Structure 1
Amino acid sequence: MSLPPGFLDELRNRVSISSVVGRKVTWDMRKSNQAKGDFWAPCPFHQEKSASFHVDDRKGFYYCFGCHAKGDSLTFLRETENMSFMEAVETLAREAGLPMPERDPRAAEKADRLSELAEVTEAAVRFFRMQLNTGAAAGARDYLKGRALAQSALDRFEIGYAPDARQALWDALTGAGIAGDKIIEAGLCAKPDDGGAPYDRMRGRIIFPIRDARGRCIGFGGRALSANARAKYLNSPETPLFDKGRALYNLGPARSACGKGKPLIVAEGYMDVIALSEAGFEGAVAPLGTAITEDQLRLMWRVSPEPIIALDGDAAGLRAGFRLIDLALPLLGPDQSLRFCLLPEKMDPDDILRQGGAAAMTKLTEGAVPLVQLLWQRETEGQVFDSPERRAALDRRLRAALAKIAEPGLRGHYTDEIKRLRAEFLRPARQAWSTRGGRAIPVVKPLSATRSTRLASAPNDAIAEAMREELILATLLRHSALVPEFEDDLDRLTFPDPALARLCTALLAGDTPQAEDAAALLELPHIAIAPPVRSANADFARLCLRDEFAKHFARGGLDAELREVVEDMEDLADESVTYRLARASAARNESERSRLNDSTDLGEDRAALSGELQRLIESQIWIKPKK
């Protein structure tokens, strides 16, 4: 049976040689470079331990440096499975989903026809490129200049212009001796139903040639310059050369770039791909004006195991990503998945590059989220799950989505991740509790402002008492008329801080305190609770001062008494010790009664101190006096 060369090329494009050979060998991942399509393994044709068997996925060939075996995927199947040539072709065709061509003796003639059509499209490329330099293309050049495209970019992507004339391309190609039927079959011109003269399909548009992975021009995309055009973008029709559902714009250059370590970025349109490539993201491709198809997805995975889908930052872009999830789920595997780069609202990659440059785009691509995150977002965004029924509906949708994943191990990992996301999403906020005095008390986490205070950073009695002394001094500054009433108590205070000592001396002497010393004290955060300067608050200030002085001196006396008792325990183990402890305890109790509602509660420290005092008192009851 005679097979068209185009059929075998399509077969090799759809089924990578690494997937065929990988069933028979174990790759040496230390030596292989999957991103570049470069694989190494021990040779399956002769016994060896070293990885001398090389597979080049991009070129579609294998070679062993030991036994010198070489060939393509068809040769490998014939050699390892003892198949005939046609059996190997049929095996790969079934795997690729391609029907075997009919036994047509004219198959070679059809293949030749495809080559002839490719020659026609190449002639059209040359015509469109020349037209971009004419006076009629001034508007097109202005548009491209406004998009900041340099001449190097125009040359690299072979951008051209289709004149706004009915038969400009037709006349040029037929005048060059190209048959009219080939021009029409290549999708460049169309013949009207009324039998009139053929007309150009692309008119008054900027032209983007579309090439396949082999570099052949298979079709064109056209961007309208007129606001009244029926379609902003127009692609070539389906032809023997062009199937837009099985092609990607810029596929060939992107494959080479990804082989050198560049990420594969899937953008929406031609200009996005060009802008990305010019900014250094050469591994950029785009579907041809339609939603991504299964064939396009497989093409992407042949280039990169984890393409980054750059979605436009609008509702339409997000919907496209949600649709792609359902397409990709049944095809996912450990070595092929997707990540999604969610762009800011109403912005595409070209906008990002214009405003933030390559660094901004790099940050977005590096932050691309895995497919499972977008799946969870799709099923939960904008919804409320405040009832068992709604939560059950969510579970049903998620189970249905996960059931589409064919690979069992991967499906298990997706299930675990969805369970984790669900638990975090639906878990109610928990209140922490502690027990104090036999009662359950809610634990309230302090604010950051609270955690940074002096008392919180060093929670001990010395700090608390120093802050109490500062509060007393600030109250007397605000109510200096009360100084004579508390002169004796104030004179007993000691201030290690020279500024506070100066303030105290000035108050006792009836002098005006230094302004900077007073300002520094009154700016302390805890001074805000001191009674303000108003005549109506004088009595309240007097009560506060009495209370604070009582607490301060009771606490200080208790601490001093306890220290002396501990020091004298060995020598004064008699009733006098018990008496002194009882007096200290009474003073402490009197102080504590006034502190029941005090916001500066000592908490657990006070409880520990009371317990220690009680143990000392009880121990003295059983100490016998020394003889």
Structure 2
Amino acid sequence: MSLPPGFLDELRTRLTLSQVVGRKVTWDMRKSNMAKGDFWAPCPFHQEKSASFHVDDRKGFYYCFGCHAKGDLLTFVKETENLSFIEAVEVLAREAGMAMPERDPRQAQVADRRTQLAAVMEEAVKWFRLQLKTAAAADARDYLVRRRLSPEAQDRWGIGFAPDGWHALQLAMKQKGIADDLLVEAGLCAKSDRGGEPYDRFRNRIIFPIRDARGRAISLGGRAMDPKDSAKYLNGPETPLFDKGRNLFNIGPAREAAGKGLPLIVAEGYMDVIALSEAGFRAAVAPLGTAVTEDQLRLMWRVSDEPIIALDGDAAGIRAGLRVVDLALPLLEAGKGLRFALLPGGMDPDDLIKARGAPAMQKVLDEAKPMVSLLWQRETEGRVFDSPERRASLDKTLRAVLARIADPSIRSHYAEEIRRLRAELFAPAGRVSPFRPGFRKGPQVAVAPVPTSRASALAAEGPEVEHLTLARVLIATLIAHPALIARFESDLEGLDLPDADLQALTAALLRHAHDPEALLPDLEGRLSTALETLRADPHVRSAPPVRKPEDRELALLCVAEGLAKLEARRGAAAEIAEAMEDVERLADEGLTWRLSQAAEARNRAERSRLDEGDGGEDRAALSRHLQSLIDGEIWRKKNR
């Protein structure tokens, strides 16, 4: 069977070798450097204990220093699963989500046609390069000198010149015996609407060859010499050789440089890429006249785990970067991300390197920001959040952004970072929350316990244990009554939870706040361990189950009071922390009053209707209620 041209390239773009090999081996984490695509493991082809099997993920090849087995991902599948070439392609195509082409005898003819087109493109590139040395190209050569491109650099990049004529290329290629239909199909010429001979697409332009990952010329880009030209830059059209949404300018050399440890830089245009590469940043690429596409993004991640998007420092550059962010969010995977380098003063990489040199460009790259920073900047910059309604609007927008992230682990980490940024944005001036990174620990202030009508064994275990248990009680209640989650959604987002399992469970609650029926399957899947830990808490399971009609009302009361207690504790801790900063500077009656008020605020919150009065619900009732929630409600949902 003859596969269509580009099919195997697309297959290799969608899958990584480490992903395929990883199903058969266990990586040696001490020897591997996954950030650089360098993997080591015991060889799957012969029995050994040492890690002599090496996978170079960026180049897409493996080699065993013991048995000398080597190959690419297709070879690996063939050898490990005893398959033919086509069978191995079918296995990998299914994994990549690609449909196998139909068995068509015409495919061989198509492949031959593509080979012809590639040969035509190479002939055109040679001809354009010769034209750059003619008298007609004097202005073009002067332009390249002003852009600081030496003759040697021009040769490295294969730069040429298209004369200002309608049939110059067409006549030159005809003299070489190349038919007009091949010139049109390759995108070098266009058909005449008047029935005449095809005419040249590129006229009075500096020519930049566009090559695929294997170095074959597949199209051209042209920079107009006439400032009145309607298009400053012109790319060739879509052809059997050229799909502009699946290729990147300079992808071949950039992939090789990235494999040697250089960061992959994504610039806007040809001259930016050339300037970066000539300045030593050789792993530079650019999209081809379009906004970055999903296929281009996957191709970037095939080359580098964390490409750097170099943005012009103006509003248009920021907008372009945000379009890439929106495209990338649903595609994010663990270890695959983007960083954004914002250039100063509306400059592009070419401008910056010429004005300030390579060190200035390196400084910009070193300060590249993660995606979440650009997202946060878009949603908050220039906005005032001085009312509950505006804050709620921000929360709604951020929830919608997080919902677009498919990977649950990445979504959880994004939510955590956004909560941190939100806390910083809304923190009172001069106050640092003790529940956020950067809090400066000071002397501890003991808050005297307030007696209640009953002795509390829970309180005797210490404030940290009590805080953890209260949070578990709260989350358990909402798990059993998911219809209440939406009512307390904004309060849950602001919680500072002391336990990773609770954080994961809370993220699940928020994710399903408006779809309660989907909560249980999620919890019983990847969060089953966290759920079992919650259920094992003795304060959650301390009483026999009860089922009363007023369970939901009691649950509502439990959640409201639990949130009030946690918020009161957090506020009191922040107030005490702020007051303690003044202890050594000024110890007066005002300071003493502040501390006493903070303590009293917490103590008031600790006294609830669940604790007071002989006729009210007590902690045992709460425990019985929670037991009913977990053992009763969840069971009924599973079996109905």
State the TM-score, normalized to the length of structure 1: 0.66
2:123 paired with 1:136: no
Name the % identity. 71
In 1, distance between residues paired with 2:153 and 2:428? 55
Pick closer, same or farther for the CA change 1:101–1:604 going to 2, 3 Å: closer
Matches within 5 A, 1:194-209: 194-209=194-209
Give the letter aligned to residue 172 of structure 2.
A
1:277 corresponding residue in structure 2: 277
Pick closer, same or farther for the CA change 1:606–1:285 going to 2, 3 Å: closer
Classify the secondary structure of the residue corresponding to 2:165.
coil
1:366 corresponding residue in structure 2: 366
2:73 corresponding residue in structure 1: 73
1:426 corresponding residue in structure 2: 426
2:404 corresponding residue in structure 1: 404
1:231 corresponding residue in structure 2: 231
Pick closer, same or farther for the CA change 1:404–1:254 going to 2, 3 Å: same
In 2, distance between residues paired with 1:373 and 1:97? 32
In 1, distance between residues paired with 2:69 and 2:193? 57
Matches within 5 A, 1:213-224: 213-224=213-224
Classify the secondary structure of the residue corresponding to 1:399.
helix
Residues 61 and 70, structure 2, Cα contact 8 Å, conserved in 1: yes
Classify the secondary structure of the residue corresponding to 2:346.
coil
Matches within 5 A, 1:451-470: none
Q: Which moved more, 1:80-89 or 1:359-368?
A: 80-89
1:337 corresponding residue in structure 2: 337
Give 1:604 shift: 7.7
In 1, distance between residues paired with 2:83 and 2:390? 56
Pick closer, same or farther for the CA change 1:357–1:204 going to 2, 3 Å: same
In 2, distance between residues paired with 1:106 and 1:604? 89
Residues 35 and 303, structure 1, Cα contact 8 Å, conserved in 2: no
Give 1:431 shift: 7.3
Classify the secondary structure of the residue corresponding to 2:25.
coil
Residues 5 and 108, structure 1, Cα contact 8 Å, conserved in 2: no
1:249 corresponding residue in structure 2: 249
Pick closer, same or farther for the CA change 1:210–1:96 going to 2, 3 Å: farther
Give the letter aligned to residue 41 of structure 1.
A
Give the letter aligned to residue 257 of structure 1.
A
Give the letter aligned to residue 141 of structure 1.
R
2:380 paired with 1:388: no
* Residue-by-residue CA offset, 1:506-541 (whole Å, 9 max, x unaligned): xxxxxxxxxxxxxxxxxxxxxxxxxxxxxxxxxxxx
Give 1:49 shift: 1.8
Classify the secondary structure of the residue corresponding to 1:207.
strand
Give the letter aligned to residue 278 of structure 1.
E
1:126 corresponding residue in structure 2: 126
Give 1:102 shift: 2.0
| Gap runs ≥5 in structure 2 | 433-584, 590-640
In 1, distance between residues paired with 2:270 and 2:60? 28
Pick closer, same or farther for the CA change 1:85–1:260 going to 2, 3 Å: closer
Larger radius of gyration: 1
How many correspondences in the alignment? Answer: 437
1:189 corresponding residue in structure 2: 189
Pick closer, same or farther for the CA change 1:142–1:68 going to 2, 3 Å: closer
Give the letter aligned to residue 189 of structure 1.
C
Pick closer, same or farther for the CA change 1:102–1:230 going to 2, 3 Å: same
* Residue-by-residue CA offset, 1:132-159 (whole Å, 9 max, x unaligned): 0111111111111111111121111111
Classify the secondary structure of the residue corresponding to 1:345.
helix
In 1, distance between residues paired with 2:586 and 2:76? 79
* Residue-by-residue CA offset, 1:390-409 (whole Å, 9 max, x unaligned): 11111111111112222222
In 2, distance between residues paired with 1:102 and 1:230? 43
Classify the secondary structure of the residue corresponding to 2:51.
coil
In 1, distance between residues paired with 2:302 and 2:69? 24
Residues 205 and 225, structure 2, Cα contact 8 Å, conserved in 1: yes
| Gap runs ≥5 in structure 1 | 433-602, 608-627
Pick closer, same or farther for the CA change 1:416–1:166 going to 2, 3 Å: same
Pick closer, same or farther for the CA change 1:221–1:79 going to 2, 3 Å: same
1:168 corresponding residue in structure 2: 168
Higher relative contact order (CA 8 A, sep 6+): 2
State the TM-score, normalized to the length of structure 2: 0.65
* Residue-by-residue CA offset, 1:274-293 (whole Å, 9 max, x unaligned): 11111111111111121111
1:544 corresponding residue in structure 2: none
1:89 corresponding residue in structure 2: 89
Give 1:168 shift: 0.7
Give 1:22 shift: 2.1
Residues 266 and 307, structure 1, Cα contact 8 Å, conserved in 2: yes
